[in-house]
Amino acid sequence: MQFVQMTSDLTPENAVATFHLQSEVISVLAEIGVIVLLFEIGLESNLKELMEVGTQALLVAIVGVVAPFAGGTVGLMLIFDVPAIPAIFAGAALTATSIGITSRVLSEMGQLNSKEGQIILGAAVIDDVLGVIVLAVAASLAKTGEVDVNNVIYLIISATGFLVGSVLLGKVFNKSFVKIVETLKTRGGVIVPAFTFAFAMAYLASAIHLEAILGAFAAGLVLDETDTRKELQRLVEPVSDMLVPIFFITVGAKTNLSVLNPISPENREGLIIAAFLILVAIIGKVLAGFTIFNQPDLDKLAIGVGMIPRGEVGLVFVAVGSTSGVLTSSLEAGIVVMVIATTFIAPALLRIVFNFNDENADILQEVPSVVETTS
């Protein structure tokens, strides 16, 4: 802003007014960015592949959501005396799994099509679906300011019904969508009708007192079933690359990391909370990997580690919690640190686990030849 003031002859008073005005514009762009982000995540969530993975991925996903959510929520309430709703929100932030980060690492390692890789991706997709439902419930609780059992049941049913209903109707809508695209003949082809549909779904979700991002995610799930999915994903990427970073920057700019300064005694509790969240975030997902049964050949540790990164999905939880005002500065900073830590730790751990297993497999293959030579 000082540079703008010097190069445009603004007075200090006008510079401040310009800053506040442009901040509102950036906030709107960030809100559009998060809708685009959830729409893109929905597009990446291939339901057909998800159904092929089966019950193993479903079990991993459910435990991967319930374990960190319960551990985080109960731990914050009992150990740190955090009120119920902020604790629920922080616990909800622990449920996420980043499909993008995990799939990219698995692809680079050549493990994307392995059994472990397919279970990780399938469970990550289900995690996102369940996580968005949990987020919608937590955000609505933050608006009401109290935990009402009847309201919680209504929110869970409405959020689940909205997603399931959207997917079921999507099977009918798919052919109509393609016809609409062919009729409109807009520049960019499928991208304009797709975003129109995504924003319409976001508004519909908001109108029934759910989060707008739930509608955008549902729109992505619906259009994932169309014949134009690959073309749509390609066209969405540059728009996402332009708007989504604005969302990430605003989340970071609103986070007060000074509350984690270890020099100040009053900040030590925030540091302990951050360490606790990281521990629960890792343990909860690793435990999920060990719930697989009747498949002794699978690397359960690798599956659990692959579920650890929260990435962009975790920051969505932070943004919604920050906007609702339910999170304290220390708790918000703790969640951001947890998201950053799990995002950086998981790829390194995943490489270590897979490389260790490959080395052991090579050793086991060499054992018979050594025995034969010796004999």
pLDDT in tens, the chain (375 residues): 788 888 887 888 888 888 877 788 888 898 898 899 888 888 877 666 666 666 788 889 899 999 999 999 999 999 999 998 899 989 999 998 887 777 777 877 888 778 888 888 788 878 877 888 888 888 877 777 777 777 778 778 888 888 888 777 777 777 777 778 778 777 777 888 889 989 999 999 888 877 788 888 888 888 877 777 788 888 899 999 999 899 888 888 877 777 777 777 777 778 889 999 999 999 999 999 998 877 778 888 889 999 998 877 788 888 888 888 888 888 888 898 899 899 888 888 888 888 776 665 555 455 455 445 444
User: Rounded to 5, what percent of the chain is helix, strand, coil?
Assistant: 85, 0, 15
User: How far apart, in whole angstroms, are the C-alpha atoms of residue 166 and residue 198?
Assistant: 12
User: How far apart, in whole angstroms, are the C-alpha atoms of residue 313 and residue 50?
Assistant: 19
Look up the pTM and report it: 0.77
- In sequence order, what DSSP letters do the residues of 107-172 get, joined into one string? HHHT-TTSHHHHHHHHHHHHHHHHHHHHHHHHHHHHHHTS--HHHHHHHHHHHHHHHHHHHHHHHH
Helix (H, G, I), strand (E, B) or coil at 105: helix
Element containing residue 185 per DSSP (H, E)? none
User: How far apart, in whole angstroms, are the C-alpha atoms of residue 247 and residue 129?
Assistant: 21
User: How far apart, in whole angstroms, are the C-alpha atoms of residue 78 and residue 4?
Assistant: 50
| Number of Cβ atoms within 10 Å of the Cβ of 359 | 10
Q: What is the DSSP letter of 229?
A: H
Q: What is the pLDDT of residue 87?
A: 92
Show Cβ contacts of residue 320 under 8 Å, excluding neighbours closer than 6 positions: 135, 138, 139, 211, 213
Burial of 154 (0-12, 13-18, 19+ CB in 10 A): middle
Q: What is the pLDDT of residue 109?
A: 81
User: How far apart, in whole angstroms, are the C-alpha atoms of residue 254 and residue 126?
Assistant: 30
Minimal CA–CA distance to 59: which of 119, 103, 115, 111?
119
